[in-house]
Amino acid sequence: MTTGKPAIVLVSGGLDSATVAAIARDQGFRLHALSFDYGQRHVLELEAAKRVAAALGIVDHAIVRFDLRQFGGSALTADIAVPKDRDPAAMGVGIPITYVPARNTIFLSFALAQAEVAGAEDIFIGVNALDYSGYPDCRPEFIASFEHLANLATKAGVEGKTKLRIHAPLMALDKAAIIRRGVELGVDYGLTLSCYDPTPPNIACGGCDSCQLRRKGFREAGVADPTRYR
């Protein structure tokens, strides 16, 4: 996997980003993975990211560390309980407490730095506007706006040499369609971890919004769910 144009792929360790990485590889890109240790509750997520990146034959895997806990404001980074067993009908309404302020803006900003240094014109991110849990920074207009910014922010954009593209190939897919696409591409979802509140080594709670969406996705895709739930 060392041929092709370089691309940056944000890899969280979850189902979506593993699928995105497989899609980018399938398109012939040479993958540079980027993950973040930002004070999220479970470093298990990073272990999953490493497994996913290794399985996809990436060129390199950068892990940027910073602490979003110093700002707080989210159940994922502050001492607020992760909601469990919510009515699925309530998930798409409003913005849940698991929203992390400005997270995707921060993630894409670092991807932009990595892209510029690696000479990459392409950044892949696994955001999704359907099963998206109500996060503002998962919408298509956000991604389009970041792409516009990226081309103004960088050396390449000023010199007019390259055109940075932010790819969000899952944007219009539901979870079942994402899973079907990943299975076609040979993704081993047993390596991934979606849960907001897992226990070691890789066991999902089964009740948080993310687990509920994942279970429903496998069910609707008609694919056996390899996740271990407690």
* Chain contacts with a second copy (rule: CB under 8 A): 62, 64-68, 70-73, 95, 99-106, 108-110, 112-114, 116-117, 136-137, 139, 141-142, 145-146, 148-150, 152-155, 157-159
Q: Can you read off the two tokens belonging to residue 95?
A: 């913005």
Q: Can you read off the two tokens belonging to residue 125?
A: 């991110």
**Which is nearer to a second copy, 165 or 228 (by Cβ)?**
165
Quote the least distance from Cβ 203 to a second copy, whole Å. Answer: 30
Question: CB of 42 within 8 A of CB of 68?
Answer: no
Q: Which amino acid is at 124?
A: F
Quote the least distance from Cβ 147 to a second copy, whole Å. Answer: 10
Quote the least distance from Cβ 182 to a second copy, whole Å. Answer: 27
**Which is nearer to a second copy, 99 or 218 (by Cβ)?**
99
Whole-number Å distance between alpha carbons of 110 and 65: 11
**Which is nearer to a second copy, 94 or 200 (by Cβ)?**
94
CA dihedral (58, 64, 67, 69) in degrees, to 10, reads: -20
* Phi, psi values for residue 121, rounded to 5°: -110, 0
- Cβ contacts of 142 within 8 Å, gap of 6 or more: 104, 127, 136
Quote the least distance from Cβ 160 to a second copy, whole Å. Answer: 11
Quote the least distance from Cβ 95 to a second copy, whole Å. Answer: 5
**Which is nearer to a second copy, 3 or 70 (by Cβ)?**
70
Quote the least distance from Cβ 207 to a second copy, whole Å. Answer: 24
- Residue 147 CB neighbours (<10 A): 17
Q: Can you read off the two tokens belonging to residue 191?
A: 């390596």
Whole-number Å distance between alpha carbons of 53 and 31: 9
**Which is nearer to a second copy, 77 or 212 (by Cβ)?**
77
**Which is nearer to a second copy, 127 or 191 (by Cβ)?**
127
